[in-house]
Amino acid sequence: MVAKHGKSEITLKGIGVSPGIAIHEVQLLSPQIHQAVQRSINPEEVAAEIERFKEALIATHDQIKLIQKQVSKVLGDEHASIFDAHILVVDDRSFIEDVIRTVRKDLVNVEPVLQTVANRYADMLAKVADSYLSERAADIRDVTKRIMANLAGETLNQMAQISKNCIVVAHDLTPSDTASIDKSLVLGFVTDLGSATSHTAIMARALEVPAVVGLHNVTAVVSTGDTILIDGGRGFVFINPTDARLKEYKKRAQEQELILEELGTLRDKPPETQDGYLVPITANIELLEELNGIGERGAKGIGLFRTEFLFLGVEILPDEDAQTSAYEEAARSQHPSPVVIRTLDLGADKLPANFEMGDEMNPFLGDRAIRLCLTHPELFKTQLRAILRASTLGNVRMMYPMISCVQELADANAMLQECMEELREQAIAFDENIQVGTMIEVPSAALVADLLAPHVSFFSIGTNDLIQYTMAVDRGNENVAHLYKPTHMAIIRLIDHVVKVSHEHGQWTCVCGQMAAAPTLVPLLIGLGVDELSVSPSQAPLIKDVIRKLHYSDAVELAQKALVSPSSEYVEELCHAMIKRIAPEVLELSE
């Protein structure tokens, strides 16, 4: 097809990371490259060279802090915390000392040494098939570019090239680039590199800027001034779109606006199927600032309160009083609806520097979450006491992350009982009947759910990790991302098993991972007997719309077919066909 300006339309497919439709002229960003030219220095010049490096580190630290502050004002602390990882890099003593030691030994200027050391650290992390570690590799490269710019006395800001309305096209955008986007000028962006779980993708969604990443060669086939159309939901990019394409997408954009308005009317309506089956929708939150948005989007209560925000970017670990205050605020805001507080789900690598612990090659599979808490009882018991103290309203529940065996669960409950006894002795009130549950996010926990059930009141299935651990797939790695299948028979059977065990023990099961937020998979989860869905507040209207248009009996029939299906693709087709029949408007927004 040929557009009216005589250029042929080019269609590309990437990863849609931030939904929405945008049409405008291209602004192609040229990457700022700082060549690390090597020069020899005399021994007496070493001190001055090291001082120059330290000044660049200080300047970089200050710049990142300023970006973090600006992001916090616009988007809140949740998204500003992305830059905690950048601060950790620029303050990393082993990284800094490695550079200084090499400068002294080789008698060369700092730039090539910095580049070599940074590449070694980043490459080592990037080779590990784990999304957390690969993001740390990207953080190292981002910070290194900023330090190099400061060494050269230059400003590092790709967005400074933008002076008029456009859609940005770049080989890659760092989180700091994305944080610098002026929404009044940048209507969307596309990149050669990137993944759905990258910090840049998270920033794009927070800014509500349509974005498609992972296009590989978009910078090679587009020029500044070309017209570009991006579909951030479906991941399509059209360069020099035809009149017919423009007409189609302008109509779709109008339809999406109308659908969003209609979904807004569901806020106060119950999440109940056509045949009267109630499926509570609760919220996944990280920050206290998100509390007000829960009810506004139609969710009730909190199904997953991630407590990690209290521990990130701080010099000193939060004490019992500070934690109690935060948990009480959440409980009061949602009362009488339940608030499920998850205990700390971090590795020591993200805790303050004074929290001493050895380095790990793969912290994703290392001493983290419940493992870290059990080996540091002073840390764990402080949090347990705070949760108990906040439970006096009667709507607080708590759960443990990354439980993999019965012994871990028994040990955690033993510490909880110790905390309860301490509070009784101090005459400090708490809910004696507080519900205690566990996350099911590793296959071993799912398979021994019958042994875990006597020790808890409920299960919460974290499908993101359950899928990754079960399938041995990092969904952020584009080489294997196609193997990340929520509809794989192994996943469906694990969920089915966990739900059946919980019901046999008179308990309930929630799903709080991305499967719960995928409208096409909601009927499958409900048909498998999942009792509650916990999603980000923004997804609540879509999920409620599906539930209210669904017949529970149809969902059960779908689940039974899925349990004997020949392939994950067949299950996807069944789910898609059901949503297309009962709630096609949801597909318009989510695909």
Q: Which residues contact 577 (CB under 8 A, 6 or more apart)?
A: none
Cα 111-114-118 angle, rounded to 5 deg: 145
- The single-letter DSSP state of residue 366 is S
Q: What is the 3-state secondary structure (H, E, C) of 4-30?
A: CCCCECEEEECEEEECCEEEEEEEECC
C-beta of residue 398 within 8 angstroms of C-beta of residue 361: no
Tokens read off for 380? 């764990």
Of 141, 91, 105, 100, whose CA–CA distance to 121 is shortest? Answer: 141
Tokens of 466: 């359950």
How many whole angstroms separate alpha carbon 483 and alpha carbon 141?
Answer: 28
Catalytic residue of the set 34, 79, 86, 199: 199
Of 166, 419, 510, 512, which residue is the catalytic one? Answer: 512
318: preceding bond cis by omega (within 30 degrees)? no
Nearest-angstrom CA–CA distance, 190 and 15: 10
**344 DSSP assignment:** P
Q: Which two three-digit tokens encode residue 525?
A: 């989860």
For 453-583, where are the alpha helices, taking DSSP H only? 463-471, 489-504, 514-517, 522-527, 540-549, 552-562, 568-582
Is 512 assigned a catalytic role?
A: yes
Active site annotation includes 216 = no
Tallying the residues shown for the chain, one arrives at 591
154, burial (CB in 10 Å: exposed 0-12, middle 13-18, buried 19+) = exposed
Which residues are CB-neighbours of 506 under 8 A, at least 6 positions away?
none
Q: Residue 495's Cα: distance from chain center in Å?
A: 22
Q: Are 365 and 396 in contact (CB under 8 A)?
A: no
Burial string for 105-120 (b: 16+ CB within 10 Å, else e) reads eeebbbbbbbbbbbbe
Hey, which residues are catalytic here?
199, 512
